[in-house]
Each structure stands twice: as structure tokens, then as C-alpha cells.
Amino acid sequence: MKKQTLLLMTAAISFFTACENKPADTVTKPGITEKPFGVFENENITQYTITNANGMQVSIINYGGIVTDIITPDKDKKMGDVVLGFDSLSGYLQKGNPYFGALIGRYGNRIAKGKFVLDGKTYQLPLNNNGNTLHGGVKGFDKVVWQATKLPGDSSLQLTYASKDGEQGFPGNLQSTVVYTLTADNSLQISYTATTDKATPVNLTNHCYFNLSAGKEGTILDHEVMINADKYTAVDTVLIPTGQLPDVKGTPMDFTTAKKVGKDIASVKGGYDHNWVLNRKGNDLEEVATVYDAGSGRFLEVFTTEPGLQFYTGNFLDSTLHGKNNWVYAQHAALCLETQHFPDGPNQPTFPNTILKPGETYKHVTKYKFSVK
């Protein structure tokens, strides 16, 4: 036990030291650079790095549309990488990669028993999670090659993916476009659109694992989180919604006022892995959550157009994955803030609609804004 703790600490320290090797004053020119990142299914994988005028950087690969790095300044202007990931493509391809940084589709989170009925027809998806379908099936949008285009303006990367009728059991040819933009105010904005030629469930999201200390702290238990939600979707033992929307008030699920992740986590079996029902005024971009790490001073604000937020505290990380800069990812090494429609939407008539029909356009915008305080 002692040895493991020591190993984790050493790994976390070496990660932090490696990050610190990139001082803020190493000014990299704003724009988008490219670097080869390996080969997958005979296709070249490229890593695109978007840099803004403040020196903030976001790197994305066209395999899974994965955000591999987000490098932001701390309160002392030292740059650090605030997302979990791997140094090379083989890391991302390994079994047990828990969707680090990836685009998730065609349906984010779970569909009960991988089954739904649409226009009188029953569809069966591959089961990959306790008899249910998680994150789009065995080969979701996180495991395919997206076509990448650098957009004019030098701050946006567009990714497109054409998912075929019947792919992973879903009906309809689905054309998805995701645009990653690094803005002048240090925000990573993700805009999703999709169209289909047959009615189909669609729920796209991104699965970044954030640790705002950039590895200085081995877990996120001291990060302070606020989620603007009075209710959450209750789940059964295999994390399928029961349909009930309990109030968070007076429970460990209450994040309406910022609190440390670790404050009540022990009372939540397995840790936080739930969808919060966001308090929304309308359908525009609204601030729905914040995360603060006092040690580094980094502050993250999440804005979205979506009705739900999956707050997941890396419960299944178990020190078996060795990430970037020799960091061993222990339980709760990072947290995810997956903006989305509710899990199992296609089987839950009272949840917001997740069926996209021909002629309609699926639209979702989420913004992760980084600053310090």
C-alpha cells in the first residue's frame, strides 16, 4: 500500500515537472500545427494543435476526435496539461482506455439492454456494459477515423464522420460534424451538428477527463464543483435510469453551491456517475457548471445548450493505466463533465427527445472556459 502511494506520488510529481518544462513565456505562434500520430486501419492519424494568442493550446487527433492535451496557465502563469491521455496512439488503442478525451456517439451513455423501438421496429445494439449499450456500442464514434479540415481563421478544426445505416445497430446514415474552436478568451468550444436519412437516436458528447492541477494533485477530490441542477436522473445498480428525477436538496448530489468533490463522495456508492437535470432558462448557451482547483488557481466554466450533464469522477480508474508524462491514473484522478441528453432517452418517454428525423438538424454547443482566480 505504502509502496503504491509512493509510486503514485512520484508519478504525479514527474508529470507535473514535465508539464512545467513548458514555461508560459515560450510563445508559440497562434494557429494550427500538425504532427503525425501513427496509423489506424491504414489511415494516417494526425495530431492538430491549436494555439491562441495567450499561448493556450488544445491538441486533437482525428482518431476518435480525441482531445489529447489542453494546456492552460495556472495562477503563476505556468502552463500545465489539464486532461488525461496518452503520449502515443497505442495508448488510446489499448483495451480499457476509458474514452479519454474522445467524441462519443451515436448515443452517449447507456441504452438499456441495447434495445429501443422506433416507428414500430425493434432495434438491437451490441451490448458492451453489463448487458447494456454504453457510448454507442463496441465501436462507437470514439474508435473511428474522422475527416479533419482546418477552418479559415486558424482557430477551428472541423471533424466529420459518416456513420452508415445499420452501423452498431442504429438506423439511418448519420452525417456528423464537430467543430473544435479555441477562442481568444481561453475557451474550447465544441459545436456538434448531425443529419440523418432515417429516424435515429442521437446524443453526441465529449469525454475529456479534467484534472485542473495538471497532475500536481493525484485526484480531483479537492476540486470544488458547482452544478446548476436541482434534480438528477436516478439509476439502478447498472446505471440505467429508473425514470425518477429526485431532488438534490439535502443529499450528497447537491452541487448547487460549490463544494469539494470529496466532501460527500463516500456516501455515493461507487462515486459520482450520474446525469444532472440542468436548470435551464432556454435553449441557448448557458453556464451550467464550474470547477475550481485552489492549488493551481485554475477555474473551469462549462456552458452548454444541452439539458443534461454526466458528472463522472473517474470511479473506474484503478492505477492500471499509465498516461502522459508517466502519470499513473488512480481512482478519481480526474473528472468528466459530459454535456448531453439524458441516458436511455430512447426508452424513457418522459425524458427530452433524442430521436433525430430526416430533414431535421441535431445541434449541440458546449464551451469549456479556462481562467484563474
Q: Which residue ranges make up the site for ligand BGC (CB under 6 A)?
A: 98-99, 109, 239, 273, 310, 312, 316, 338
Active site includes 224? no
State which residue has the least CB distance to ligand BGC: 98
From the centroid of its chain, how far is CA 272?
Answer: 15
- CB closer to ligand BGC, 196 vs 310: 310
Place of cell 475527416: 147
- Closest residue by Cα to residue 71 from 226, 178, 211, 220: 211
Place of cell 473544435: 180
Least spacing, CB of residue 360 vs ligand BGC, in Å: 25
187 sits in the region (left: phi over 0; alpha: psi -120 to 50; else beta) called: beta
- CB closer to ligand BGC, 27 vs 238: 238
Q: Find out whether 200 and 355 touch, Cβ atoms under 8 Å.
A: yes
Q: Among residues 223, 332, 338, 341, which one is catalytic?
A: 338
- CB closer to ligand BGC, 95 vs 121: 95
Q: Find out whether 198 and 191 touch, Cβ atoms under 8 Å.
A: no
- CB closer to ligand BGC, 23 vs 316: 316
- Closest residue by Cα to residue 91 from 316, 317, 321, 320: 321
Q: Find out whether 351 and 291 touch, Cβ atoms under 8 Å.
A: no
d(CA 363, CA 357): 13
From the centroid of its chain, how far is CA 304?
Answer: 13
Cα–Cα–Cα angle for 201, 309, 204, nearest 5°? 30
- CB closer to ligand BGC, 146 vs 342: 342
- Closest residue by Cα to residue 109 from 348, 302, 358, 369: 348
DSSP string covering 118-133:
ETTEEEEPPP-BTTBE
Q: H or E stretch including 91?
A: helix 89-93
Least spacing, CB of residue 109 vs ligand BGC, in Å: 6
- CB closer to ligand BGC, 99 vs 146: 99
d(CA 46, CA 155): 17
Least spacing, CB of residue 104 vs ligand BGC, in Å: 8
Least spacing, CB of residue 153 vs ligand BGC, in Å: 32
Least spacing, CB of residue 94 vs ligand BGC, in Å: 14
DSSP string covering 321-369:
-B-GGG-B--TTS-BEEEEESPTTGGG-TTSPP-EE-TT--EEEEEEEE
Least spacing, CB of residue 51 vs ligand BGC, in Å: 29
- CB closer to ligand BGC, 306 vs 338: 338
Q: Among residues 135, 207, 332, 341, which one is catalytic?
A: 207
Q: Find out whether 105 and 203 touch, Cβ atoms under 8 Å.
A: yes
Least spacing, CB of residue 312 vs ligand BGC, in Å: 4
- Annotated catalytic sites, by residue? 207, 338
